[in-house]
Structure 1
Amino acid sequence: MKKIFTLILFTILLVSCNGSSDKYVLRSSVGKVNKVMVVTQSSDWNGDIGKEIRNSFGELMVGLPQPESTLSVSQVAPNGFNTMMKVSRNIMIIGVSDKEEFYIKNDIYASPQTIVYVYAKDDAGVVALFKKHEKEIIKTFLESDIRYTQNLFSKSKLDETQFKTIQNLGISLTINDKFNYVDDTGNFLWLRQHLSSGIAKTGSNNILIYSVPLEDGIQVSDSIVAIRNKIGKEHIPGSDAETMYMITEEAYTPFTFDAEIDGKIAYETRGKWEVKNDFMAGPFINYTVVDEKNKRLIVFEGFTYAPSVNKRAFIFELEAIAKSMKIK
């Protein structure tokens, strides 16, 4: 009887590992968004290699009221890179080897997982190779986290068919179901997520969606602030609707970058908002998409109100939602 039980157990394990596709099922990865585990010798981490990594990943994110780095990093030595560590979602393995190599692999020890490899023959070579590819490396980790966040939200997706504005604009978005309706005119949508953790439990993440006509000869990137100020005055009131409304912070010039949403030309603007004649303020991220076919600009804006706490994670979630936009 014992032999029969052992045989059955072995058969079950064999089938579960191989299955019909003969592929091993990877473990689920773990790790916070915007965080990278760096696998390198402690001497390298404390030397020029580590300094270059910290300077690069530690570049401050644009538009936040408090200084916050683009990526957070932790370090583990190669001999400490054990089974538990190998399930981290974002990993960079860097150090001295017998040849120079730079490459990226996905889903090696867990899924989803992104691993960047940087090797050179000496410390100076490692630093040079990392600097050569640093923008690509940062972009790779950020895009990986965008996909990860979008996948999480797709599992608890808000039913967007209930919103007149989304239907009228002919778009779709992957918005998590923690957002609630504030206003939906058919031309303007405002959704709000109440933040429930830490000091930010009195705060909120907000989404605005609307469109404006694409006027001939207009310089889109130069009109973004004026458009959002007009929308703020019309739709985002303060405690006194007559004298208080959301505007772009006057003391801080937003940064605008070229972007792409659903294959269309777009502009990404990061900056700070404030309520005119009041003390409320925070960061915003705005994507203005050029829809030439329909002669319009589609605007997605996310803004955060979370006093006294870091806001990188909140803005990153809004960015992930914006980049899920599909225009029908």
Structure 2
Amino acid sequence: MKKILSILVLTILLSACVGNDKFILKESIGKLNKVMVVAKISDWTGDVGKEVRNSFGELMVGLPQPEPILDISQVAPGGFSTMMKASRNILIISESDNEGFSIKNNVYAQPQTIVYVQAKDDQSIIKLLQKHKNEIKSVFLEADIKFTQSIFEKDKQDNTHYKTLQKLGISLTIPTKFNTVDDTGEFLWLRNHLTSGIAKTGSNNILVYSIPLGDETKVADNIVAVRDSIGEKYIPGTDAETQHMITEEAYTPFTFDATIDGKKAYETRGKWEVKNDFMAGPFLNYTIIDKKNNRLIIFEGFTYAPSVNKRAFIFELEAIAKSMKIQ
């Protein structure tokens, strides 16, 4: 009997320790779109480091200035301190006879994503990195999207305030810093005036509207024409008679397959400009096929922030777009 009681007490204590360990995980740190790479200096300065920098150094399309999709920094295993272990996004590269690729969450802090890549030599590590590079980038980007959405969730607007969202039957997690420019019931335009640094004359903008579905096979081909018609109708320049937003004629947008709220969508990244004016910047467009309601729902974000990098602003708009729920 005493033995049984001892086992029960030990089980309870172990369960409590596990629970407490999870409970006391510290809050993770680090900038959005940044990954800390834990690797030996010899690896980092050699072919392994070159492969990591090539994979992560891919530029984000649609931006006026060259900006990588993800920033990276490196630390040697011996310098991977307690503070550094609290980083939100970590890639750990090591040599081992047991080759492996794995992803773990909330190991040292939360929220946290750690990707482990290990193999017996440099060439084997490089092959693993090449095989999983798209997955690695997606894992870190998706984690940062969720983290950004969790921040916005704490300070979000009440969607019932917007006639257009109510009429379209959709919801979005929109931070309170966005103010209404236009809300007709058919078209919503929200704007966040940037208030810090050199970008304080600029703004981040959200557009939401819907059009009939039509021929589904031509949706991707018509995205630019649709956004240009909306720009002419709703987004004037300083001179409303001669100026309005258009897709920049000198830059061809990039369109990719996407999924929003479980529905097929197209993601388009490119540059906008104001016809007969010098205003310009990047845009991010999601055109969602809503077959149930025989329509296309369009979310577009665009940024005006002269002379500064714009990746962070576009990423914020991406997080808002991907919070969409459709009735």
Q: Judge same fold: TM > 0.5, yes or no.
A: yes
Superposed CA deviations along residues 86-135 of structure 1, whole A, max 9, x for unmatched, are 00000000022222110000000000000000001001111111111000
Matches within 5 A, 1:215-230: 215-216=214-215, 219-230=218-229
Once the two structures are overlaid, the 10-residue window that deviates more, 135-144 or 211-220, is 211-220
Residue 231 of structure 2 corresponds to which residue in structure 1?
232
Going from structure 1 to structure 2, the CA distance change for 1:43 and 1:320 (only over 3 Å counts) comes to same
Residue 42 of structure 1 corresponds to which residue in structure 2?
41
Residue 134 of structure 2 aligns to a residue in which SS? helix
Between the aligned partners of 1:171 and 1:83, the Cα distance in structure 2 is: 43
Going from structure 1 to structure 2, the CA distance change for 1:217 and 1:322 (only over 3 Å counts) comes to closer
Question: For residue 22 of structure 2, what is the amino acid of its counterpart?
Answer: Y
Superposed CA deviations along residues 230-287 of structure 1, whole A, max 9, x for unmatched, are 0000000000001000000000000111111001110000000000000000000000
Q: How far is 1:20 from its partner?
A: 11
Once the two structures are overlaid, the 10-residue window that deviates more, 70-79 or 97-106, is 97-106
Between the aligned partners of 1:143 and 1:257, the Cα distance in structure 2 is: 16
Residue 22 of structure 2 aligns to a residue in which SS? coil
Matches within 5 A, 1:24-35: 24-25=22-23, 26-35=25-34
Question: For residue 272 of structure 1, what is the amino acid of its counterpart?
Answer: K
Residue 167 of structure 2 corresponds to which residue in structure 1?
168
Once the two structures are overlaid, the 10-residue window that deviates more, 95-104 or 182-191, is 95-104
Residues paired across the two proteins, number: 313
Q: Which runs of 5+ in 1 are unaligned?
A: 1-14
Going from structure 1 to structure 2, the CA distance change for 1:101 and 1:157 (only over 3 Å counts) comes to same
Residue 74 of structure 2 aligns to a residue in which SS? strand
Between the aligned partners of 1:244 and 1:19, the Cα distance in structure 2 is: 65
Going from structure 1 to structure 2, the CA distance change for 1:20 and 1:99 (only over 3 Å counts) comes to closer
Alignment root-mean-square deviation, CA? 1.5
* Contact 1:95 1:123 (C-alpha < 8 Å) held by counterparts: no
Residue 198 of structure 2 aligns to a residue in which SS? helix
Between the aligned partners of 2:117 and 2:71, the Cα distance in structure 1 is: 18
Q: How far is 1:196 from its partner?
A: 1.5
Question: For residue 196 of structure 2, what is the amino acid of its counterpart?
Answer: S
Residue 3 of structure 1 corresponds to which residue in structure 2?
none
| Percent identity of paired positions between Structure 1 and Structure 2 | 70
Residue 296 of structure 1 corresponds to which residue in structure 2?
295
Between the aligned partners of 2:173 and 2:35, the Cα distance in structure 1 is: 25
Residue 11 of structure 1 corresponds to which residue in structure 2?
none
Question: For residue 32 of structure 2, what is the amino acid of its counterpart?
Answer: V
Question: For residue 76 of structure 1, what is the amino acid of its counterpart?
Answer: V
1:142 aligns with 2:175: no
Residue 196 of structure 2 corresponds to which residue in structure 1?
197
Q: How far is 1:159 from its partner?
A: 1.5
Residue 240 of structure 2 corresponds to which residue in structure 1?
241
Superposed CA deviations along residues 187-220 of structure 1, whole A, max 9, x for unmatched, are 0000000112211011000000000011146510
Between the aligned partners of 2:181 and 2:61, the Cα distance in structure 1 is: 28
Residue 92 of structure 2 corresponds to which residue in structure 1?
93
Residue 129 of structure 2 corresponds to which residue in structure 1?
130
Residue 309 of structure 2 corresponds to which residue in structure 1?
310
Residue 214 of structure 1 corresponds to which residue in structure 2?
213
Residue 24 of structure 1 aligns to a residue in which SS? helix
* Contact 1:18 1:24 (C-alpha < 8 Å) held by counterparts: no
Superposed CA deviations along residues 17-59 of structure 1, whole A, max 9, x for unmatched, are 9499555321100000100000001111000011110111010
TM-score, normalised by the number of residues in structure 1: 0.93
Between the aligned partners of 2:196 and 2:16, the Cα distance in structure 1 is: 42
Residue 6 of structure 1 corresponds to which residue in structure 2?
none
Q: Which runs of 5+ in 2 are unaligned?
A: 1-12
Question: For residue 33 of structure 1, what is the amino acid of its counterpart?
Answer: L
1:56 aligns with 2:55: yes
Question: For residue 113 of structure 1, what is the amino acid of its counterpart?
Answer: Q
Between the aligned partners of 2:301 and 2:39, the Cα distance in structure 1 is: 37
* Contact 1:190 1:206 (C-alpha < 8 Å) held by counterparts: yes
Between the aligned partners of 2:251 and 2:20, the Cα distance in structure 1 is: 57
* Contact 1:29 1:111 (C-alpha < 8 Å) held by counterparts: yes
Q: How far is 1:136 from its partner?
A: 0.4
Residue 266 of structure 1 corresponds to which residue in structure 2?
265
